[in-house]
Amino acid sequence: MKVQKRKIGNYQQLYITLPAKICQAMDIEKGTDILISVAGKDSLLLKVISKVIIIIMVGNNRRNIYMAHEERVKLYEKIEEKRGRPLISYFTNLRANASAQMASDVIPEFAKQILEIPKEQKEVDILIVSYGGDPTVAWRIISMLRERFEKVSVLVPYAAYSAATLLALGANEILMHPFSNLGPVDPQLAYKDKEGKIQQFGYEDLRLYLDFVKGDVGISDQEQLERAFELVCKDIGSIPIGVAKRSSYLALSMGEKLLSLHMKDQNKVKAIAEALNKSFYYHGYPVGRKEAKKVGLPVKNPDEELENLMWLVWNDVEEEMECNKPFDPLGIVLSDEKTAKLIGNVPQVQMPINLPPQILQQAINDILNKIEVIQVEPIDYELISASIESTRCISEFKVKGKISAARLPDMNIAVNVVKTESGWRFHKIKKEE
């Protein structure tokens, strides 16, 4: 930042040339000057400069936080105008190594969105992209929406798996983009195997294992079947097996309840819930809109305009959350200028064999005196884990932290990631008059 000072009578003037980065962030022309005229001494001028810099930086940060959302608001407005009802968008990050799940802490943020909608509105659209999470969160969200609105529609531009599929089951209609997918709702549990690695399993895995033992292997003796079951209990544990059974009942029951909110045919309700719980033999199975219709879900195809708007919204969120770029702490370290020293050339010393102890010690001391101590500052990182957005307000769950790295004697680089801050931030959108 260049500062030029000029005195005119009792006044002192400052010409401050803003750096290119600040000009770009504030969306103003490069090389913009700020003129300040102040009567007084240099100390007062320094205070003025400090205030100006603080104001510039605060404005810069606020613009960066909400700039992307402001662009999406235009898309949301077009969707609301086309559909004739308010829209709430809910995203959880799909980024590899930094993905997020639907969790109960989102409920208050959803309540804020609902409270911002005018009371005369009786219908609402929910646009969702998520790999799932806590199934009870889907029930709580739909329950809140049903208390307030007569009709709920769900828009799926990309992926809505597991708990996100459950949320869609509670909607009167599901508008699916051609590239979108729902998924099975069979719950998955985690356990540690013998090597300490986290493994996932579902109740259907246990049932099919016993079917395999009886049908494919041909074991029918009750004693042998008991031994086969004991092996499973030894690997997983007896309590987790009971939890898996209970979770399966929960998902089936919740699916039926959500469908019953808008379907009267209980036979159809039960058939859909069982199909999504048991018919697909992989939890990540992608259920496209054609298959979703065959299952019996109230799926509709959006017209071309709405289809394009849904996809543009997701593309923008995908880019902001960096979903196509795995979170790689080591890669971040190696690509940062501040940590370039970690991958620099390392001097190697070859000592002759059988040196006399006195000469060897002297050589070692000389080497130690020439060693350069390198200090590597931690690198800041920031992730958007989840977001709830509309034309009225936005809630973002952000994670901030620091990545530290050190070169080990074996030439490998040790990386440590420390989370320093996380939580939701709410912001109302000011309407232009």
pLDDT digits (tens, 9 = 90+) for 80-135: 999 999 999 999 999 999 999 999 999 999 999 999 999 999 999 999 999 999 99
| Rounded-to-integer distance, Cα 144 and Cα 138, Å | 10
Q: Which domain holds residue 17?
A: 2-63
H-helix or E-strand spanning residue 39: strand 33-39
As a whole-number percent, the residues of the chain with pLDDT over 70 amount to: 72
321-346 mean pLDDT: 82
Helices and strands, number each (H, E), in the chain? 13, 13
As a whole-number percent, the residues of the chain with pLDDT over 90 amount to: 48
Residue 25 domain-assigned (yes or no): yes
Q: What is the dihedral of CA 136, 138, 140, 141, to 10 degrees?
A: 160
Residue 9 domain-assigned (yes or no): yes
pLDDT band at 54 (very low <50, low <70, confident <90, very high): very low
Tokens for 370? 């020439």
Residue 46 domain-assigned (yes or no): yes
Tokens for 10? 């009792």
| Structure-model confidence comparison of residues 308 and 377, the more confident one | 308
| Structure-model confidence comparison of residues 342 and 392, the more confident one | 392
Residue 39 domain-assigned (yes or no): yes
Among 145, 174, 171, 140, smallest CA distance to 157 is for 174
Residue 336 domain-assigned (yes or no): no
- Residue 344's pLDDT is 64
- Of 9-23, 104-118, 324-338, which has the strongest mean pLDDT? 104-118
Number of structural domains found in the chain: 1
pLDDT band at 414 (very low <50, low <70, confident <90, very high): confident
Residue 34 domain-assigned (yes or no): yes
Of 59-73, 256-270, 389-403, 410-424, where does mean pLDDT reach its minimum? 59-73
Cβ proximity of 154 and 126 under 8 Å: yes
| Rounded-to-integer distance, Cα 294 and Cα 311, Å | 24
- Residue 45's pLDDT is 46
- Residue 37's pLDDT is 46
pLDDT band at 53 (very low <50, low <70, confident <90, very high): very low
**Residue-level length of the chain:** 433
Q: Are strands 151-156 and 123-129 parallel, antiparallel or unpaired?
A: parallel
- Residue 11's pLDDT is 46
pLDDT band at 31 (very low <50, low <70, confident <90, very high): low
Residue 159 domain-assigned (yes or no): no
Cβ proximity of 77 and 125 under 8 Å: no
The structure's pTM equals: 0.74
Tokens for 214? 């009886």
| Rounded-to-integer distance, Cα 90 and Cα 110, Å | 9
- Residue 346's pLDDT is 62
Sign of the CA dihedral running 42, 43, 47, 53: positive
Examine the pLDDT at 36 and tell me if it is beyond 50: no
Residue 429 domain-assigned (yes or no): no
Tell me if residue 297 falls in helix, strand or coil: coil
| Rounded-to-integer distance, Cα 57 and Cα 352, Å | 58
Examine the pLDDT at 221 and tell me if it is beyond 50: yes
